[in-house]
Chains A and B, each alone.
Chain A
Amino acid sequence: MRNFLSDKVTEIKPSGIRKFFDIVSEMKDAISLGVGEPDFDTPWHIRDEGIYAFERGKTFYTSNAGLKDLRIEIANYLKRNQNLSYNPDDEILVTVGGSEAIDIGLRAVINSKDEVIIPQPSYVSYEPCAVLADAKPVIINLKAENEFRLTPEELLNSITEKTKVLILPYPNNPTGAIMGSEDLEKIAKIAIEKDILVMSDEIYSALTYKGKHISIASIDGMKERTILINGFSKAYAMTGWRLGYACAPKEIIKQMTKIHQFAIMCAPTISQYAAIEALKNGDEDVEKMRQSYNQRRRFLIDAFKKMNLKCFEPFGAFYVFPCIKEFGLTSEEFATRFLKEEKVAVVPGTAFGECGEGFLRISYAYSLENLKIAISRLERFVSKLRNSKS
């Protein structure tokens, strides 16, 4: 029989997380700090609105771009939080999670062999999505000494004549890094000079702990060359609702909508109704959750300090990214041993790019009680490693 599989797809490596997931799944009593979604339930008034939408029989397709009312609320939200002005009619597309927006955003702009710059460590789907869109991914290995921010030098060194898109993943998963307005200004200047499109994945924009998140699209001259991606999963604890959105110049949204229309039709209708409620009346919930995350973040940073574990202080998302190079183990070895010996699951930094070697992603989307138990085990494990070394 012939090999029916696509070479392009076959060549894509499965996510590094998958392998680890299989090991963890076998250990029933392990504590996991490996989750990339909020521990909170979706706020009740949002769920209630979803139930109400079911009751009213809102069970049909919506327009391809998404409910008009939702797009209006998205525009209001971006205006109120990031001072961005998007036209709900033709500059906003409601998608199935931020992930769909990444996929179709790249497909809408890439011609074969165009280069897409991807700073890593970062979310696992940029590189495969770029490959599937027929682009050539160009990886930037971000550095711990820059607190995993993208520097202008790093960007300039990766730009070639074929560069078309820069993916800008901040607040960052897995490092928790954020980009301040000065950092962004420099990147924006290069993007404009070199005529590059920026795909700014701001899915964690509501979760920053040092001033409000700034979108690169708010910098002069950037809105026309930015695909802004955001969604409801992280801010409103709505991961399972599968709802995100993209904002971009109307020419780009038009092409994205074409792919979306043929591949997806429209985002889930019930989720869209619930999301309107989230945007209208959810600010307080977001703030409460943000406050809880921030307390846990401070707890972890303090705990690492006390056990002398190197970690820069991250101000975004819900991850910390401690360095474990002192133990002479690879990230995977460390994570595997930690899981086997102390029954705590963390994700090796290498799952998010090769330059994640020597780091771990620890999620704080867990209750403080949970984190305390996990941290006391980490402390024990770390001192065991140190003792055996000396």
Chain B
Amino acid sequence: MREELLSIIEKNSRIDFSELAVLLGTTEEVVLNELSELEKEGVICGYHTLINWDKTSIEKVTGLIEVKVTPQRGRGFDNIAERIYNYPEVKAVYLISGGYDLLVILEEKTLKEIANFVSDKLSTLDSVLSTATHFILKKYKDHGTVLNKETKDEREVITP
């Protein structure tokens, strides 16, 4: 039930407890307990909303920055990752296998602000060896949801 609960609220965190209980074939109480357990255990880390900012008047630029760093003795990558994720404009930091070490996702109002962040804040960190910055031009699909897609039921209206 845990996985099923998670997969429902991953798609719709606004669903109310009574409906969750119905969909899962259990009681509201069980659902409430399970949810608070999941929050306590840190399995559920937040209830965010998927927003297509392109459709608003707010300007946003998203940069993906590949960062090569020197890991530190005893701390590995954790210390440098923390240095980076503490900046509020950083949306995500992942440790990556392959050609570089950290993937930093950054959201700013303008291209220039991202450029400034990279040159002033990121590159100047001692352990950072090099960076490569990519800009997102268009989001087609985010968090498993296809943006800007109209779905039409193409089925015949009545079939046996």
A interface residue numbers (CB < 8 A to B): 15, 17, 20-21, 24-25, 30, 32, 34-37, 39, 123-125, 173, 291, 294-295, 298-299, 302, 345, 347, 351, 368
Contacts and interface: CB of A to CB of B under 8 A. Distances in A.
Nearest to B159: A36
A299 B158 contact: no
7 contacts: A17-B158, A17-B160, A30-B157, A35-B157, A35-B159, A299-B19, A299-B22
A34 B23 contact: no
A37 B157 contact: no
A245 B48 CA distance: 46
A291 B157 contact: no
A353 to B, nearest CB: 12
A345 B158 contact: yes
Contacts of A34: 157-159
B158 A21 contact: yes
B155 A35 contact: yes
A120 to B, nearest CB: 13
A347 B4 CA distance: 31
Interface in B3-37: 4, 7-8, 19, 22-25
A302 B158 contact: no
Contacts of B158: 17, 20-21, 24, 32, 34-35, 345, 347
B150 interface: no
Contact of B160 (A24, A298, A351): A351
Interface in B75-128: none
Contacts, number: 52
B145 to A, nearest CB: 14
Interface of B: 4, 7-8, 19, 22-25, 153, 155-160
A347 B157 CA distance: 11
Given A295-B8, A298-B23, A299-B23, A39 B153 contact: yes
Q: Which of B7, B157, B158, B159 has the most CB of A within 10 A?
A: B158
B123 to A, nearest CB: 40
A347 B7 CA distance: 32
A299 B7 CA distance: 17
A21 B153 contact: no
A234 to B, nearest CB: 12
Contacts of A173: 160
Contact of B4 (A24, A25, A291, A299): A291
Nearest to B157: A32
A125 B159 CA distance: 12
B12 to A, nearest CB: 9
Contacts of B22: 298-299, 302
Contacts of B159: 17, 34-37
Contacts of B155: 35, 37, 39
B65 to A, nearest CB: 30
A317 B116 CA distance: 58
Contacts of B160: 15, 17, 36, 123-125, 173, 351
Given A291-B4, A295-B8, A24 B25 contact: no
A210 to B, nearest CB: 11
